[in-house]
Amino acid sequence: MIAEAPAAGDAAIRARGLAKRFGGLLAVDHVDLTVPRASVYGFLGPNGSGKSTTIRMLCGLLTPSEGEIEVLGLRIPDQADALRLRIGYMTQKFSLFEDLTVRENLEFLAAVYGLSRRETRQRVDELVELYRFADRQKQLAGTMSGGQKQRLALAGAVIHRPELLFLDEPTSAVDPESRRDFWEKLFELADGGTTLLVSTHYMDEAERCHRIAILDRGALVADGAPGELAAALDGRSVEVLAPQPRRAQQALVGQPGVLSVAQIGNSLRVLTAPGARGADALAGALRQAGLQAQVRPVAPNLEDVFVAATRRDERAEAA
């Protein structure tokens, strides 16, 4: 499922020229970013691409080396203290108290955000019902499954009804069913007006976002709606059906204009460079190798977008 884009409105996040250096390492390389309000905006990139560092700068936990940040109309990091009451933040590591019960964790977080006793009781009751903890209120958080812990962490992150929610690879340690359930909760929040910035390395999760940004070695290499980014690669994705897919893969790797060759079951998915001859050239290369195969263009997907974006710098270095 690819979500429909929200109506245009003021941006929840604007960053211009955002950079972060750790000694001689440029971890975030002059990123420009605009996140629309009430949308699910995905951060996609390999480990070490700068996703977590960027998120920490955007929510005021880390001071940028260069650049300007405005979040919910506030200048960051100058007004980070004012921002903290208006945002939620959730990481992949379970950060609540494992020796407290579900309800005690939520009550503690409500106190941290200054909710009154009456507000706390009402809000905790609401979240316990909404996140399906009615029969687990007295269960210690440390005894729950990974998916249950993530649901509890999400409930805790929204205890104070934040306008903006940062989620840093929140589903990396949970099963597929729990991931689907978790994402349904995210869209419910977006439908209610919350803006969400979610980092992930799962393609299926990124495809569900209204917009995505792809980071590679600290640089922003793609930004847009998943469907639009995929459509821009039209004509560059090819499927190869061959009786001997491994031999066919070996024959195609290294061919001029071939960016990647991935085996998917008994077929190969090939991504070609801009201006490459595509299916006809690939079929010719296979014939020269003495291999029979069916070669046909296919619709690009987000994995193709990711490969095309992240291998751009490799091609430049090779040149």
- Locate all alpha helices (DSSP H) within the chain, ordered by sequence: 51-58, 80-84, 102-112, 117-130, 146-157, 176-191, 203-208, 226-231, 245-252, 279-288, 302-310, 312-318
Please give the structure tokens belonging to residue 9.
């409105």
Please give the structure tokens belonging to residue 276.
């490459």
Angle 146-157/176-191 helices, nearest 10 degrees? 20
Say whether both 75 and 151 belong to one domain. yes
How many independent structural domains does the chain possess?
Answer: 2
Last residue of a domain, one of 176, 200, 225: 225
Q: Is there a contact between 285 and 261 (Cβ–Cβ < 8 Å)?
A: no
Say whether both 51 and 177 belong to one domain. yes
Say whether both 122 and 268 belong to one domain. no
Say whether both 149 and 46 belong to one domain. yes
Say whether both 213 and 276 belong to one domain. no
Using DSSP bridges, classify how beta strands 267-272 and 237-241 pair: parallel, antiparallel or unpaired. Answer: antiparallel
**Nearest partner of 279 among 265, 261, 298, 266, judged by Cα:** 298
244-269 pLDDT, tens digit per residue, is 999 999 999 989 999 999 999 889 99
Say whether both 162 and 50 belong to one domain. yes
Give the SS3 label for residue 265.
coil
Tokens 């195609």 locate to: 252
Q: What is the CATH number of the domain that holds 263?
A: 3.30.70.100
Last residue of a domain, one of 225, 260, 290: 225
5: in domain: no
Number of H helices and E strands in the chain, helices first, is 12, 14
pLDDT for the residue numbered 318: 42
What is this structure's pTM? 0.88
**Distance set, CA 94 to CA 148, 149, 210, 227, 238 (Å):** 11, 7, 26, 32, 41
- Which residue stretches of the chain have pLDDT < 70? 1-9, 312-319
Last residue of a domain, one of 225, 244, 271: 225
3: in domain: no
307: in domain: no
85: in domain: yes
Q: Is there a contact between 206 and 226 (Cβ–Cβ < 8 Å)?
A: yes
Say whether both 49 and 135 belong to one domain. yes
Radius of gyration (C-alpha) of the chain in whole angstroms: 23
Say whether both 76 and 186 belong to one domain. yes
309: in domain: no
Buried-state track 119-150, b at ≥16 Cβ within 10 A, e below 16: ebeebbeebbeebebeebeeeebeebeebbbb
Say whether both 204 and 255 belong to one domain. no
Say whether both 186 and 58 belong to one domain. yes
192: in domain: yes
Say whether both 221 and 267 belong to one domain. no
316: in domain: no
Residue range of the domain that includes 239: 235-298
Q: What is the CATH number of the domain that holds 91?
A: 3.40.50.300
39-91 pLDDT, tens digit per residue, is 999 999 888 899 999 999 999 999 999 999 999 999 999 999 999 999 999 98
Say whether both 239 and 221 belong to one domain. no
pLDDT for the residue numbered 319: 37
311: in domain: no
Sign of CA dihedral 43, 185, 205, 46: positive
